[in-house]
Amino acid sequence: MIAGLVHPLLALGALLAAVPLIIHLFNRRRHKPLDWAAMRFAQAAWKKIRRRTRFENLFLLLLRMAAVAVLAFALARPFTSGSGPLGGLTEEHQDLVLLLDGSASMSYRPGLDSVWERALERAVARIEDLDADSGDRVRLYLVGDHPRLLSDRSPAEALAMLSTLEDPFDEPFDLSAALTRLLEDLDEKGESPNAVTELVLITDAQRGNFLDQRGTRANKELEALVERGLELIVEPVAATDRFTRRPSNLSVAGLWALDPFGEALDDSGALGAAPVPRSADASFLVRIENSGSRPRDVRVALEVDGERRPARRVEVPGAGHIEVRLDARLTSPEGAAESSGFHRVEAVLEADSLTIDDRRPLVVFAPESIEVLLVDGDPAADLVEDEVGYLLAALEPEGDDALSAGGFQVTTYTADEFAARMARKELDLGRFAVVWLANVEALSPEWISEVEIAVTAGATLVVSVGDRVVPGRYEERLGGEIGLLPARLGERRGTTGRRGGYSRARIERPDHPALAFFADERYEIYFTEVPVYEYLTSTPLEGARVLARLDDAATAGSPLLVERDHGRGRTVLWTTSIDDDWSRFAESPTSLIPLVHELCHGAVQPPGPGRNLLLGSAISAELEAFPEAPMLLRPGGSATAVNQDAEAQPGGTWRLEELAKADRVGFWRLRTRAGSEAAFAVGLDPREGRLERLELGEILNLSPAFVAASEEATADPTSGDGELWRPLIALVLMLLIGESLWARRLTRGEAA
Amino acid sequence: MASKEKRSPFDPAILDRLAGLDFVARTVVEGFLAGGHRSPRKGSSPEFAQHREYAPGDDLRHVDWRIFAKSQRLVVKEYIEESNLVANIALDTSGSMGFGSDTAKSTGWTKLDYGRWVAAALGHLILGQRDTVGLVEFDTAIKNTLPPGGGAPQRHALIELLEAATPGGETAEGPCFRDLSRQMSGRGIAILISDFLGDLGPMFQGLEALVAGGHEPILLQVLDRRELDFDYEGYLRLEDLEGGAPLKVDARVLAEAYREEVEAHQAALARHAAALSLDLVTMVTDTGVDTALAAYLARRAARISRHAGGLS
């Protein structure tokens, strides 16, 4: 009859029914002695009334105990099936669980109202239909990339929470996270799932909310709902007919900086801001998507540090995308000179009905210059004969294109000059991003230790071999405990003459930035078809990454290019010569230039943690100077003081950890009293700009857990469970009134 | 319950009130002192009693010659011989008489204290009329006896005995009354002071013995107000003053039924007393001794006067 209890633990309060009994027994012990003469009459009277008195007192006691027990039971809120024998005593009430889609796409505004505003109205209407006096309850979740429980009590509280909501999140919608949280909450609160009468999802029915590349999202959670007999009512608040299921929307789905070879630089937050050449126009690739079915013209422009550059008009195909290359010079705020350091770049479209995806931010890093030290182990008067002649030409080519403005500042010393300068302490290795030992024979422990310090602090050591390299000595001086070699050098192998055959290279890590140019199949041959006549075999050490191998069968693919991290820097080993003695890489500008440029660009790491962040990740900053009175500015302009002490880092920088969670898209800025500023870019998930919607019928077909709002009307309104606490409270009142009347009757009867 | 204060029974204020009343015996009592009380013997006493037909052998001096002259009938006069009153006061000193509540007129008085007072007051009156009075104390049997006597010595002895009386033990009125009847040498008045809460059957058997012996029992019942109304609250453990088992009760619950029992007993007591033509006076300790006695004595004197006028 009783299906369960909403608050089972409160039913233990029924044990308090023993209290009247205890009081009764306690009182019975407290008899006042009284000397009495007329005992015969007292005994006769007591004998006459004893049985009746016992019954009357027992009845009174039972009334009191019953009142306490029933009250405790009522507080535990038992419920029963509406169709059961006690169903007539229950009041019908509703439990509403409302999932409100708070993703970025909800801010789409096709007319006067945005989809978000319509969703709020619909949620308010749903809640206002409830009757709080009958015990109707509502649990309100606002869902972005994870659900937030806004209200878990009365309809009034839920309405109050809704009135405080202004905008949706900048996040995508995660149906799986929402349903997982809902099921966990149902389990945790100990409610019988049968107490929930309505699950409602108010959403714009964006396709990406329900489907991904693998099929229906949240399949496991939807099946769990079905198993528990629950249905999720889907209420689309955006029109999904055939004319509106593909609303027109243009979005900036991607923004990347390009290297001088036109390849997109990795701008993920994990690797830091993309380094770009300083003194020439930086190139950026902008991806624009059109979720509408018709092609559209749009103007796209870049803003560099807040300054808009000339726009370009482009046509974006319907239900498609284009990628546009835009160039911009990274100038100082005054616009006068090229400025090194971090820059804020933003791709901007003309505003449309969904404005949040019309801009995409990016923080790029333009190093002051990339200083390269070349140590020439085999100098010659003729650059072609010189060990580093080709290398020098690759790093400082003539011309006025981006390649020419590669931003390298090259210093060259012969091995002897280098050793002498190091001995006289005239050379500060700390200013070089790259130290290249090209076929150097003599290795002095003194300058080796200085090189090791520089690499540990962040520099890159590149070792290219040749006929002057003695593997044993290199192993002894650079390897071992020093750890400046990524691999143990072996024997010299190869052909003695150019006609005797050669080895070719094979790319092992095409995703590595040093080989990104050659990963394009158009340019791959410039790496893989270059003959290598001689090389040193090598065995990579633990932690080393083999980026390329030779196809020499005899050595089972001896490494050609190996790198390994060392402190904050790294060491790179090129197992053939960098001149034309042992291979023809030097003779092929299309091979050598991209290779050495990428190797050297890769040596430049922007200081500090990532500046391009995913939505929801933590913002941490590393600054050159101690940050005084730091303030964190959010996108939109609000600022909060940072109450945290900066920690000193090796290398003289200062670090602030986890300043905030990046919960809004746009630029976040950390500003200090001295006026310095560090910017962080948080981009929108491109899915939110793809507004294609599913029709309601399509959604319902995805899972039996989905139902339409109209189907609930066919459910038997009395078949839901109802609570019995009201009739129980009435029963308690009747028991208390009965107890009072009975007690009064006993008293008056005694007094009569 | 023993009285907390031992008072002299001779309270001048109370005794003065009683001095104006005669304590008149309803029946003629034999006695050896001349006084104002009628002896049951009809002899040559100066007070005419009645006429009867002449029988051979009667003294011719008693023939009423005026009636013979008028009617030629020979009748003789009979005269009442006055003798002194002999009263025996029997005071119940059983444990139940030790009960007293805060309703008593005099603070701390038990029923025994009250009965003591009544006995002293009556003894004073009787001795003041040159009658004789005796005292017995009883519970299950007659404990102490002061034979009837008169004069100052008797008064002194009476007071001493009353002052020493203490409550205790159970009650057996019936056998005590029978013993008292045997003890009384001539006809007299037996003033019985008790709470009369015992079993009525044996009690009235004893009273019948007194009546059969020619005595006049007067029942003076002394009760505490609480014994009548049982106006208590809460849970009580009643401790029997006569040594019986205690009883735990809820006072409010018991009160009504208790009062019914007491009322039934009082009605039966009155019925039995009326059947034997005995005076029964219920005195409650919240009423002054003087008030209670004075009321009774006045009623009794008036009743006897009416009866005597009907005879002359």
> Can you tell me the mean pLDDT for A401-416?
77
- Span of A500-504, B179-183, B218-222 with lowest mean pLDDT: A500-504
Indicate yes or no: CB of A747 within 8 angstroms of CB of B98: no
Task: Calculate the average pLDDT of chain A.
Answer: 85
User: What pLDDT is recorded for position A597?
Assistant: 87
CA–CA gap between residue A38 and residue B265 (Å, rounded): 11
> pLDDT over 90 for what percent of chain A?
49
- In chain A, DSSP finds a helix count (H) and a strand count (E) of 16, 39
Q: Look up the ipTM and state it.
A: 0.77
Q: What is the pLDDT of residues A425-468, one digit of tens each?
A: 999 998 899 999 999 998 899 899 999 999 988 889 999 999 99
Contacts of B238 in chain A (CB under 8 A): 34, 36, 39, 42
User: What pLDDT is recorded for position A334?
Assistant: 53
Closest chain A residue to the Cα of B245, Cα to Cα: A39
User: What pLDDT is recorded for position A192?
Assistant: 46
Q: Which residues of B touch A (CB under 8 A)?
A: 1, 95-99, 111, 195, 197-199, 224, 227, 232, 234-242, 244, 246-250, 252-258, 260-262, 265
Which has more pLDDT, A504 or A213? A504
Nearest to A42 among B96, B198, B254 (CB): B254
**B46, pLDDT greater than 80:** no
- What is the DSSP secondary structure assignment for residue A100, as one 8-state letter? E
Q: Which of A16-20, A266-270, A665-669 has the highest mean pLDDT?
A: A665-669
Indicate yes or no: CB of B256 within 8 angstroms of CB of A46: no
Q: What is the pLDDT of residues A177-198, one digit of tens each?
A: 999 999 998 887 655 444 557 8
> pLDDT over 70 for what percent of chain A?
86
CA–CA gap between residue B31 and residue B37 (Å, rounded): 9
Nearest to B256 among A32, A36, A750 (CB): A750
Q: What is the pLDDT of residues A39-61, one digit of tens each?
A: 999 999 999 888 887 888 888 88
User: What pLDDT is recorded for position A14?
Assistant: 81
Indicate yes or no: CB of B247 within 8 angstroms of CB of A38: no
Mind giving me the DSSP string for A385-422? TSTTHHHHHHHS--SSSTTTT--EEEEEEEHHHHHHHH
Q: Helix, strand, coil % (nearest 5) of chain A? A: 30, 30, 40
User: What pLDDT is recorded for position B298?
Assistant: 77
**B83, pLDDT greater than 80:** no
CA–CA gap between residue A356 and residue A665 (Å, rounded): 8
> For tokens 């049951």, what's the residue?
B40
Q: What is the pLDDT of residues A421-436, one digit of tens each?
A: 999 999 999 889 999 9
Contacts of A37 in chain B (CB under 8 A): 95-99, 111, 195, 197, 224, 227, 241-242
Closest chain B residue to the Cα of A43, Cα to Cα: B247
H or E segment and range at residue A566: strand A559-566
Closest chain B residue to the Cα of A27, Cα to Cα: B235
Q: What is the pLDDT of residues A362-397, one digit of tens each?
A: 998 877 778 899 999 999 998 888 999 999 988 887
CA nearest B85: which of B122, B139, B30? Answer: B30
> Can you tell me the mean pLDDT for A63-72?
88
Chain A closest CA to B262's CA: distance in Å? 6
H or E segment and range at residue A739: helix A725-751
Contacts of A746 in chain B (CB under 8 A): 252-253
Q: Which residues of A touch B (CB under 8 A)?
A: 27-28, 30-46, 48-49, 53, 57, 746-747, 749-752
> Can you tell me the mean pLDDT for A518-547?
92
> Can you tell me the mean pLDDT for B28-55?
50
Identify the bridge partners of residue B135 per DSSP, sorted by sequence position: B89, B146
User: What pLDDT is recorded for position A149?
Assistant: 94
Which has more pLDDT, A25 or A82? A25
Nearest to A41 among B98, B252, B262 (CB): B262
Nearest to A41 among B248, B250, B258 (CB): B258
> Can you tell me the mean pLDDT for A535-544?
94
User: What pLDDT is recorded for position A700?
Assistant: 93
Identify the bridge partners of residue A201 per DSSP, sorted by sequence position: A99, A234
Indicate yes or no: CB of A41 within 8 angstroms of CB of B265: yes
CA–CA gap between residue B97 and residue B224 (Å, rounded): 10
Q: Which of A329-333, A622-626, A649-653, B29-33 has the highest mean pLDDT?
A: A622-626
Chain A closest CA to B96's CA: distance in Å? 4
Where residue B70 falls among pLDDT bands split at 50, 70, 90? confident
Backbone angles phi, psi at A511, to 5 degrees: -85, -5
Chain A closest CA to B238's CA: distance in Å? 5
Where residue A607 falls among pLDDT bands split at 50, 70, 90? low
User: What pLDDT is recorded for position A652?
Assistant: 74
Closest chain A residue to the Cα of B256, Cα to Cα: A750
> Can you tell me the mean pLDDT for A303-312?
92
Which has more pLDDT, A119 or B14? A119
> pLDDT over 90 for what percent of chain B?
39
CA nearest A583: which of A624, A544, A526? Answer: A526
User: What pLDDT is recorded for position B36?
Assistant: 39
Q: What is the pLDDT of residues A723-747, one digit of tens each?
A: 677 788 888 888 888 888 888 877 6
- Span of A200-204, A550-554, A712-716, B48-52 with lowest mean pLDDT: A712-716
Q: How many CB atoms lie within 10 A of CB A86?
A: 17
User: What pLDDT is recorded for position B196?
Assistant: 95
- Span of A326-330, A573-577, A613-617, B31-35 with lowest mean pLDDT: B31-35
Q: What is the pLDDT of residues B113-170, one digit of tens each?
A: 999 888 988 888 888 777 889 999 999 999 999 999 888 888 888 888 988 899 988 9
Q: What is the pLDDT of residues A160-179, one digit of tens each?
A: 999 999 999 999 999 999 99
Q: How many CB atoms lie within 10 A of CB B87?
A: 26
Query: For residue A583, how far is the Cα from the chain centroid?
Result: 46
Indicate yes or no: CB of B238 within 8 angstroms of CB of A34: yes
Q: Report how far apart the first and last C-alpha atoms of chain B are (Å, whole number).
A: 50
CA–CA gap between residue B78 and residue B42 (Å, rounded): 7
Nearest to B257 among A30, A45, A57 (CB): A45
Strand pairing report for A32-36 and B235-240: parallel
**A419, pLDDT greater than 50:** yes
> Can you tell me the mean pLDDT for A669-692?
90
> Can you tell me the mean pLDDT for B241-261?
91
Chain B closest CA to A54's CA: distance in Å? 10
Chain B closest CA to A59's CA: distance in Å? 15
Size of interface A-B (CB pairs under 8 A): 99
**B30, pLDDT greater than 70:** no
**A578, pLDDT greater than 70:** yes
User: What pLDDT is recorded for position A50?
Assistant: 85
Q: What is the pLDDT of residues A87-112, one digit of tens each?
A: 666 656 678 999 999 999 999 998 88
Nearest to A27 among B99, B235, B257 (CB): B235
- Span of A46-50, A269-273, A621-625, A657-661 with lowest mean pLDDT: A269-273
